[in-house]
């Protein structure tokens, strides 16, 4: 349903939109109205956004840059850590694991002040790093990748050791291919999360030129409803794409996120 | 010999963990310790002030209001979500091919909040679709006239948030319930049926007790996701919304903007400790059965 409104809205002409939305815009009497098929469908809003608003490109690029770097960083940091938890079990590792689970469950508001203090000390406020670095060390992807590694039978790893393979080689040749589902779930869930990220940039980035799309969209007012609809659809497209491509991993990821130890 | 192998075991672990652990210490553990320290100091003069900050927040009306609203929100939403999720998952678990329906439930998860909020506004504004529908119903039945309720500016805003939370998170919950239901060994159910148990008995005596583990994780994860409702609340109503939906998240953000770091530190510690205790209690409850 919501998708339908966004798409029809995005191809409606300004005149038409103004007519339907006028009660909302002027806060007057009467009601909002809508048409399933616009009287005069037009792509002018898309054209305007894509070809005449360089600012939109900057924001779109910001969103992509933030999401891709965060995901890459999470994999580089989190996947080996998950392997560590899954393969090398001893008393100490279990304690650290419990700590990671608790940290995973803390909402952003609880870590907001502490993140701010570090970022301030490191002089990173108002840059993209302010959003990227804390997210890279999130423990959620560790937990998901751990879920994938858990399914690997220990005998397989033992056998590889007996054959004389080094630990790092085992990680690359056995861990990565067999733990793929956990890693990809982390990517899909992470993508949907960071494409939609709002709290972090809102708190740590003041310069609007550095904002991601998700934060910029609400700034568009009703008087430019057409652009708002078109921008929403453009924001939605990559998310839908990842959703369709990664639905199995999304489900897998949700299941991994629910595993207890 | 044995000792030595244990040592290398541990060092291998550390090697894989190193990047993550270092980042963790720099970005989470050390600053969090600093926040705890700050909660006992004044923000301007940096003098030790004991529990003054804690006393301040617990006599602060905004804090108490936010705590009340956040608790109310979670206590309404989580049982509702858990139940709706289970009711939706049960018929799905009987289907062979539930892929399409699952996609339908999961899709809201993929929709960026900012895009959803635009549509929400069209529905819930004074002149929005909901009122239009109600008005039409009213005039058709002749029972009432035009409805011009402002859902976002009145206490109904709370329910708008509840609806959008449920809308967004049902898919997540359904998947977790499904995983739980499908994880129950089929032999158990069949054995019970052979013994003459009715479907109802099977459900009450076998399915439900076996789902306790799922319940624990669903509650925890729903709780975690419930904090993200701030996005919807902020986008529909701004930093100072109608007082029924003034949540802890709004308060933290406003303190942050006003640089009230002493209050914020104390509140962070309180909320953190509270969450920690809730998680522990849930875990205990789960383990003890």
What pLDDT digit, counting tens, does each position of B210-241 carry?
777 778 778 888 888 888 787 777 777 777 77
pLDDT at B1: 37
User: Testing the interface with A: which of B81, B92, B127 to mutate, by most A Cβ within 10 A?
Assistant: B127
d(CA B212, CA B205): 12
Q: How sure is the predictor about A69, in pLDDT bands with cuts at 50, 70 and 90? A: very high
Best CA proximity match to B130, nearest among B149, B107, B112:
B149
Q: What is the pLDDT of residues A161-175, one digit of tens each?
A: 888 777 778 888 788
The domain limits of chain A are 1-42, 54-257
Q: Which whole-number Å values give the CA distances from B289 to B209, B210, B213, B283, in the listed order?
A: 10, 11, 10, 11
pLDDT of residue A261: 46
Q: B3, B27, B251, B282: which to substitute to probe chain A, counting the most A Cβ within 10 Å?
A: B27
Is the pLDDT score of B189 beyond 80?
no
The owner of tokens 């009306």 is B61
Predicted confidence at residue B3, as pLDDT, reads 45
Of A77, A93, A251, the CB nearest to B19: A77
Contact A202 B111 (CB under 8 A): no
Contact A218, B235 (CB under 8 A): yes
CA-nearest residue to B179 within chain A is A255
What pLDDT shows up at residue A224? Answer: 65
Distant-in-sequence, close-in-space partners of A189: CB < 8 Å, separation ≥ 6: A140, A144, A250, A253, A254, A257
Average pLDDT over residues A145-165: 81
What is the number of alpha carbons within 13 Å of residue B263 lying toward its C-beta? 20
Identify whether the C-beta of residue A240 lies closer than 8 Å to the C-beta of residue B110.
yes
Q: Is the pLDDT of residue B275 over 80?
A: yes
CB atoms within 10 A of CB A173: 12
B27/A30 CB distance under 8 A: no
Q: Is A195 helix (H, G, I), strand (E, B) or coil?
A: helix
Distance CA B244, CA B150 (A): 14
How many Cα neighbours within 13 Å face the side chain of B128?
14
Q: Is pLDDT above 50 for B2?
A: no
What mean pLDDT comes out for the span B54-68? 80
Checking if the pLDDT of A90 tops 70, the result is yes
Both tokens assigned to B58: 């617990």
- pLDDT at residue B125 tops 70: no
Q: Report the gap between the CA of A230 and the closest CA in chain B (Å).
A: 10
If one counts every other C-beta atom within 10 angstroms of the C-beta of residue B83, the result is 11
The reply to whether residue A3 touches residue B111, judged by beta carbons under 8 angstroms, is yes
The pLDDT, as a whole number, for residue B148 is 60
Q: Domains, chain B, ranges and CATH?
A: 44-288 (1.10.3720.10)
- Smallest CA–CA separation between A99 and chain B, in Å? 10
**Residue pair A118/B26 in contact by the 8 Å Cβ criterion:** yes
Over 70: is that where the pLDDT of B136 sits?
no
Which of A88, A107, A218 is closest, CB to CB, to B224?
A107
Burial B252-282 (b: 16+ CB within 10 A, else e): bbbbbeeebbbbbbbbbbbbbeebeeebeeb
Average pLDDT of the residues in B101-128: 74
User: In A, which residues are within 8 Å of B175 by CB distance?
Assistant: 251, 254-255
Q: Which residues contact B51 (CB under 8 A, 6 or more apart)?
A: B40
Rg from Cα positions in chain B? 25
Please answer yes or no on whether B109 and A250 come within 8 Å at the CB atom: yes
Asked if residue A142 has pLDDT above 80, the reply is: yes
Tokens of A137: 């060390």
Which residues fall within 8 angstroms of residue B45, CB to CB, at 6 or more apart?
A: none
- The average confidence (pLDDT) of chain A is 76
| Spatial contact of A86 and A146, defined as CB atoms under 8 Å apart | yes
- φ and ψ of B104, to 5 deg: -60, -45
What average pLDDT score do residues A214-238 get?
Answer: 72
For residue B270, give the chain A residue with the closest CA: A110
The SS3 assignment for A202 reads helix
Specify the CATH class of A54-257 in words: mainly alpha
Cα(A208)–Cα(A210) distance, rounded to whole angstroms? 5
ipTM over cut 0.95: no
Nearest residue, CB atoms, B112 vs list A104, A167, A235? A235
Q: CB distance B110–A251 less than 8 Å? A: no
Query: Chain A closest CA to B188's CA: distance in Å?
Result: 22
Residue among B13, B113, B214 minimizing CB distance to A258: B214
A221, closest residue in chain B (CA to CA):
B118
Q: How does pLDDT run across A11-53, given as a tens digit for each residue?
A: 555 555 555 555 555 555 555 555 555 555 666 666 666 666 6
Overall average pLDDT of the B89-115 stretch: 77
* Distance (Å) from the alpha carbon of B5 to chain A's nearest alpha carbon: 12
Q: What is the pLDDT of residues B18-43, one digit of tens each?
A: 888 888 877 777 777 777 777 777 76
B115–A258 CB contact, under 8 Å: no
């Amino acid at each position: 349903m919501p998708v339908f409104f966004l798409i029809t809205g995005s191809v409606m002409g300004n005149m038409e939109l103004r007519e339907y939305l006028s009660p909302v815009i002027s806060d007057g009497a009467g009601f909002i109205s809508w048409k399933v098929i616009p009287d005069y469908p037009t792509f002018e809003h898309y054209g305007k956004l894509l070809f005449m608003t360089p600012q939109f490109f900057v924001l779109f690029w910001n969103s992509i840059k933030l999401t891709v770097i965060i995901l890459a960083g999470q994999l580089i940091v989190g996947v080996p850590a998950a392997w560590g938890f899954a393969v090398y079990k001893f008393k100490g590792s279990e304690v650290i694991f419990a700590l990671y689970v608790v940290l995973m469950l803390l909402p952003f508001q609880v870590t907001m002040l502490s993140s701010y203090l570090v970022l301030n000390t490191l002089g990173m406020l108002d840059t993209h790093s302010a959003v990227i670095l804390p997210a890279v060390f999130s423990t959620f992807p560790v937990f998901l990748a751990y879920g994938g590694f858990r399914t690997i039978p220990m005998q397989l790893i033992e056998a590889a050791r007996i054959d004389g393979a080094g630990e790092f080689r085992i990680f690359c040749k056995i861990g990565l291919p067999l733990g793929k589902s956990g890693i990809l779930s982390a990517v899909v869930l992470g993508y949907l999360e960071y494409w939609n990220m709002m709290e972090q940039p809102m708190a740590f980035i003041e310069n609007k030129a550095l904002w991601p799309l998700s934060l910029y969209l609400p700034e568009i007012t009703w008087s430019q409803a057409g652009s708002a609809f078109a921008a929403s659809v453009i924001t939605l497209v990559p998310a839908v794409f990842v959703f369709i491509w990664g639905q199995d991993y999304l489900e897998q990821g949700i299941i991994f996120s629910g595993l207890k130890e | 010999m044995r000792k030595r192998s244990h040592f290398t075991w541990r060092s291998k672990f550390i090697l894989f963990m190193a990047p993550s652990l270092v980042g963790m210490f720099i970005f989470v553990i050390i600053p969090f310790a600093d926040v705890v320290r700050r909660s006992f100091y004044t923000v301007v003069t940096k003098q030790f002030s004991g529990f003054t900050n804690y006393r301040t927040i617990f006599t602060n009306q905004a804090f108490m209001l936010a705590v009340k609203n956040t608790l109310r929100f979670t206590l309404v939403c989580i049982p509702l979500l858990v139940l709706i999720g289970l009711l939706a998952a049960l018929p799905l678990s009987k289907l062979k091919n539930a892929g399409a329906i699952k996609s339908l439930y999961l899709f809201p998860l993929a929709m960026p909040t900012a895009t959803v909020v635009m549509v929400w506004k069209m529905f819930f504004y004074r002149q929005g679709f909901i009122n239009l529908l109600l008005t039409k119903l009213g005039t058709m039945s002749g029972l009432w006239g035009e409805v011009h309720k402002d859902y976002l500016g009145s206490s109904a805003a709370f329910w708008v948030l509840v609806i959008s939370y449920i809308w967004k998170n049902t898919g997540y919950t359904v998947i977790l319930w499904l995983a739980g239901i499908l994880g129950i060994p089929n032999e158990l159910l069949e054995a019970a049926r052979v013994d003459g148990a009715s479907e109802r008995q099977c459900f009450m005596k076998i399915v439900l007790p076996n789902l306790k583990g799922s319940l624990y994780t669903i509650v925890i994860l729903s709780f975690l996701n419930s904090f993200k409702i701030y996005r919807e609340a902020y986008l529909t109503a701004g930093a100072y919304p109608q007082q029924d939906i003034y949540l802890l998240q709004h308060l933290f953000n406003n303190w942050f903007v006003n640089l009230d770091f002493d209050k914020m530190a104390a509140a962070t510690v309180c909320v953190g400790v509270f969450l920690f205790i809730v998680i522990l209690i849930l875990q205990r409850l789960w383990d003890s059965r």
